[in-house]
Amino acid sequence: MKYTYRFRVEAPVEAIYQSVLSAERWLSFVPGYQGLESGDPNWPNTGSSIVVRFRYGFWAFRFEDTVIDHEYGSRFHPYEEGLGGAYIDDVELLLQEEDGTTKVTLIRDVKARSILVWIFLVLISPISRWITPLIVKRRIKAMVERSESY
């Protein structure tokens, strides 16, 4: 299931790196985020990986993100696996700076290696398509635009 979200952040690309793409903050904009479990000191360079924790009620999950490709300032492509590899989120973040603002294109290709996970994804797909623009895009924008570091 592939989704594309486009939005503008009122800050330069560097602010996105400082506020969202660091190992400690990557995925912190997703509801249920509990924190960084382990991180590669080379993150977000190609080949580096981190493990993050999420909690939804009684359920706790670990997800490993590995950077497949990274072109500083324009393209960030992590590949995420969770639930023992049964859940996959192939993410691509495209950045284009214009006059101190940044056009962001977020492409997600969510897949499952398990029929049960696939059924679950199909059932929550309408919710996910609604939550991502409603919550996640707003959180990313807020994290970057409120940042004092750029």
Residue 14 pLDDT class (50, 70, 90 cuts): very high
Total-model pTM: 0.86
CATH 3.40.50.920 fits 2-145, yes or no: no
pLDDT digit string (tens) for 26-40?
A: 999 888 899 999 999
Q: How far apart are CA 14 and CA 123, in angstroms?
A: 37
Q: Residue 69: what pLDDT?
A: 97
The ranges assigned to domains in the chain are 2-145
Name which residue leads in pLDDT, 97 or 56: 97
Pick left, alpha or beta for residue 73 (phi over 0 → left; psi -120 to 50 → alpha; otherwise beta): left
Q: How far apart are CA 55 and CA 41, in angstroms?
A: 25
Phi/psi of residue 31, nearest 5 degrees: -55, 140
pLDDT digit string (tens) for 80-93?
A: 998 888 889 999 99
* Range with top average pLDDT, 61-75, 111-125, 131-145: 61-75
Name which residue leads in pLDDT, 78 or 131: 78
- Contact of 79 with 91, CB cutoff 8 Å: yes
pLDDT digit string (tens) for 90-136?
A: 999 999 999 989 999 999 998 888 888 888 777 777 777 777 777 88
- Contact of 26 with 52, CB cutoff 8 Å: yes
